[in-house]
Amino acid sequence: MATVVFEGWAGGRIYERLDDGTEHDWGRVSEWDPPQRLAYTWYPGRGPETGQMIEVRFTAEDGGTRVHLEQRGWELLGDEAAETRSRYDSEGGWDRVLGLYADAAERAA
C-alpha cells in the first residue's frame, strides 16, 4: 500500500491506493460535521454489505481534545464477527490507529 485517502465530505470515499495506482475502497463518509463529529462505513478488504458504522466525536477538554470513537455493526460480518473483533482487539485496533494519528499531529505542531 502506498497511501490511504480519506475524502473529507459527506459521500467521500475512504480507500487505499497501491504503488501501481490500483485503488480499493475501505468505506464511505456518511456524516461530516467538523469539528464536532464524523461518521462513515468501514469495510477494508471486504464488500460494502459488511460495512460497519464508525462514529467519531470530538470534544474540547482541559486544553486538548477528547476523541470518542464507536464502532457498530460487527454482526454484519456473520460467522467471522467474533474472530475478526478478537483479532482486531489483540492487534491494537483503534488505540493503535489513533496513537499513530496523535503522533503525526504532535510532529506537525
Quick one: what percent of the chain has pLDDT higher than 90? 62
Give the model confidence (pLDDT) of 20-73 as tens digits: 999 999 999 999 999 999 999 999 989 999 999 999 999 999 988 899 999 999
Q: How far is CA 59 from CA 9, 33, 35, 91, in A?
A: 20, 13, 9, 27
Q: How far is CA 99 from CA 32, 51, 59, 84, 92, in A?
A: 22, 23, 17, 21, 10
Give the pLDDT score at 26: 95
Where does the pLDDT of residue 10 fall: very low under 50, low under 70, confident under 90, or very high at 90 and above? Answer: very high
DSSP E strand stretches across the chain:
3-6, 13-17, 23-33, 37-42, 52-61, 64-72
Whether pLDDT at 93 is above 90? no
Provide φ and ψ at 48, rounded to 5°.
Answer: -60, -25
Give the pLDDT score at 59: 95
Average pLDDT, the chain: 90
